[in-house]
């Protein structure tokens, strides 16, 4: 856990990671809007959920 703290508490690294996460969430949203197959929709929803949990990693690590 201490290795993760080094990354999430390094502001330039964390900000760059968050920027990439939000870019990927936006891309997944665009993909989600284009599909009507339920399995693809669930896949993109899962991807967005996983990316959002990564965006919350800093709070989780620092509160433990």
Tens-place pLDDT, residues 5-60: 998 999 999 999 999 999 999 999 999 999 999 999 999 999 999 999 999 999 99
- Would the pLDDT of 1 be above 90? no
pLDDT of residue 11: 95
Predicted model pTM: 0.88
Domain range for 32 is 2-62
Asked whether the beta carbons of 45 and 29 are under 8 A apart, the reply is no
Where do runs of H (alpha helix) occur along the chain? 2-8, 11-34, 38-55, 57-62
SS3 category, 21: helix
pLDDT of residue 64: 80
Q: Which of 52, 55, 53 is nearest to 17 (CA)?
A: 55
pLDDT of residue 2: 80
- Overall domain count for the chain: 1
């Amino acid at each position: 856990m201490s290795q993760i703290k080094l990354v999430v508490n390094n502001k330039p690294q964390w900000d760059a990671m968050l920027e990439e996460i939000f870019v990927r969430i936006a891309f997944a949203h665009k993909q989600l809007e284009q599909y009507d197959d339920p399995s693809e929709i669930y896949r993109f929803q899962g991807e967005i959920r996983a990316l959002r949990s990564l965006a919350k990693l800093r709070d989780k690590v620092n509160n433990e």
